[in-house]
Structures are given as C-alpha cells and as structure tokens.
Amino acid sequence: MQKFTKLSGIAAPLPLVNIDTDMIIPKQFLKTIKRSGLGVNLFDEMRYDDDGKEIPDFVLNKPQYRDAQILVAGDNFGCGSSREHAPWAIADFGITCVIAPSYADIFYNNCFKNGILPIALPQEQVDVLIKDAEKGANARIEVDLEAQTITSSDGDVFSFEVDAFKKHCLLNGLDDIGLTMEKAGAIDSFEAQAAAARPWV
C-alpha cells in the first residue's frame, strides 16, 4: 500500500447526501476480487447513460476533474452494503482522500485499509471546500496527514481528527498484511521454536 503523507491535488465537488456503496460501484461489477480495474466504473450509473456514453454534466466527466485526487462529498458517504469494492474503485480512479461531514462506519474503516484518507469535517467547513473545489483544476486543496490539516486554495486551514493507529498505518503504507509482516521476525522465531519443540507437527 502506498504511503499517505501529504497531498496537493484537484478536488471534485460532489455535494450529494447518502451516497451509498451501490452508487459508488454498482453490484454488477462485484464479480472481481482484484483491486485494480474498477476505477472506470466508479459512479457508473451517474457517469454513463444506457448506451455507455459519458454524461457530460457529471463532475468526474468534466475535463477539469478527470485527474481529481480528492472528493468533497455530502453527509453519510459510503452508506449501504459493506462491499470493499467501493474503496477499491475510488482508489483505482486515483482519489486518495475523501472529505465529508460523516461516513458509514464500515466504508470509513475500509478506506484506511486501502490507502484512502477519509476526513470528517463540520458541514460548514465542507461547504467552504465544496465552493473551493467548484473553481476547477486551478484550485488545489492541500492535505497534510502528519499535521492533520487541510488548506484550501484560498488559504483557509481546517484541522481534522484521525485515529492514531489508522494514521500510523497510512503514514507507513501498512494494510493488514503489512502490519503482519512487521512481525515477521517474531513469527519466524516462534515457528522455529515450535518446530524444535514439536517436530512431529
């Protein structure tokens, strides 16, 4: 997993409330167990018409937001089913930070396990960042995980809270496998001792 330290990127405004995981990645794309390749289907039913053509008015189809790395969204983001494909699709598109007033718990935790920083801010601060994002590609929002701050293109600075353990994992690029591998030495030592004590196992 890639380390997340600081990010200066284009933010796409999506001020809709109750964006559920089926909106993020519809059920027909859940057959894969690969984390890659889902970005093209992110928000599929909002991005494409019935013929598979892009809907020009959808934010991620607009030229200024095609390379967005930050998504500024509405309340209760990621509600619905617990599918981990939702953060997979977000990350595969290139978005590594989501900012919203609140999140569904399972989605929120899945983000950290997939290298995405989900930030919860008061609605009035999210509104400021949405307006900032509406300026397009010329407005870049800066996110500093170490300092736990967000800086708008106008210089507004907002602080955010993040669990210390989850912060450690993002800063060091550690998913569940990475956390386990940090203990590789202790695991090898235990296995060697166990093999010596019980060679018949």
CA distance 110 to 59: 24
Name the 3-class secondary structure at 151. strand
**Cβ-based burial of 193 (10 A; exposed 0-12, middle 13-18, buried ≥19):** exposed
Q: What is the mean pLDDT of the chain?
A: 93
Residue 181 has a pLDDT of 66
pTM of the model: 0.88
User: Which amino acid would we find at residue 194?
Assistant: A
- Cβ atoms of 28 and 34 within 8 Å: the answer is no
Q: How far lies 95's CA from each of 7, 56, 71, 72, 98, in Å?
A: 11, 20, 7, 11, 8
Residue 182 has a pLDDT of 65
Q: How far lies 96's CA from each of 3, 68, 103, 118, 170, in Å?
A: 11, 9, 15, 8, 11
- Report the percentage of the chain scoring pLDDT > 90: 78
